[in-house]
Copies of this chain bind each other. A is one copy, B any other.
């Protein structure tokens, strides 16, 4: 579909790839290979069998477009993928051992979590970058007086450092929650048809633990989570809160960039923020991307939450709705952070105008407490 209207505004090539077709197919193949390897370690397959399965997984042509059509027809990607693997293996007896004890959702959920792990890393990197930029901004502007504004009206003096510290604390909180929820959610899925790990000689738990190690996912919880989606919901909500925390910053910067206030501006980037018709304009394009993402995230989080009451052992419609929505959240939040980081790093701050606006307000200039509060905040987090 349209990269112009769907992916690029706020998306990043890296995150689009992380949740892209190739990544998904590769993750599913990694799931199947790890399953065979773990089954070999548990004595259910020979080492040779596992190796041959691993090779088949490694060598399967990706043919994403065809797979996509077959998946759409079958209702799940695992079915055509496993069929192709089996055909590729060219050994009917061994072919039956592929995907042994697993169900489509095992592969799909595990692949999603492997995608989410890449996504987590990408977002964590940008969160750190935004935090660094904000800490520097708070430090640099610790004593820069400006008028505080409440309910969109001039209130009393603050400093820009205090405002930046507030932004930073908001990101800190969102980053901590995101790390914690990722930790909880990024788990292997392996339960078989109805989540019992039946048919594996009682070695299901051992196999699952081994697979998790191979794939680098959290040591699996005892019971598969096919219809227990709190982890996914927690992750989605954490992403939504990151979006909100970035949106708050973009809201402030765009308001403070209004011509009548003019206290700060996004860094000037050739070819960015222009108008197709007004040469004088300098649009807050970075803030626009962030605010657009913050507008879109809440509805996506609500979708994941509303999908939670999934039927019985594996649900119908609810979990199938999650993947694209979680992918959208990762793409939007990464895009928001990628747009915000350079805005903060290169923010043009007009401290003289800040001082002037404060003076114009005529309600004092005492900023002692604001300075102290900023310093205390920066110290507390260091």
Contacts and interface: CB of A to CB of B under 8 A. Distances in A.
A204 interface: yes
A151 B363 CA distance: 30
A190 to B, nearest CB: 12
Copy number in the complex reads 4
A93 interface: no
Contact of A233 (B244, B292, B318): B244
Given A299-B306, A373-B196, A153 B324 contact: no
Given A223-B373, A295-B303, A24 B8 contact: no
Given A150-B194, A245-B230, A260 B257 contact: no
A368 interface: yes
Top 9 A-B pairs ranked by shortest CB distance? A291-B317, A244-B308, A148-B194, A299-B299, A247-B309, A237-B237, A75-B285, A298-B305, A302-B302
A222 to B, nearest CB: 5
Interface in A262-305: 269, 271-278, 280-285, 287-303, 305
A244 to B, nearest CB: 3
B308 A245 contact: yes
A49 B24 CA distance: 50
A269 B44 CA distance: 35
Contact of A21 (B2, B194, B245, B252): B2
Interface in A94-153: 99, 101-104, 107, 112, 148-153
Contact of A312 (B76, B231, B255, B308): B255
A3 B64 contact: yes
A41 interface: no
Given A152-B284, A153-B259, A261-B260, A4 B244 contact: no
Interface string A161-176: 0110110011001100
Contact of A150 (B297, B312, B331): B312
Interface in A47-69: 64-65, 67-69
A311 B150 CA distance: 8
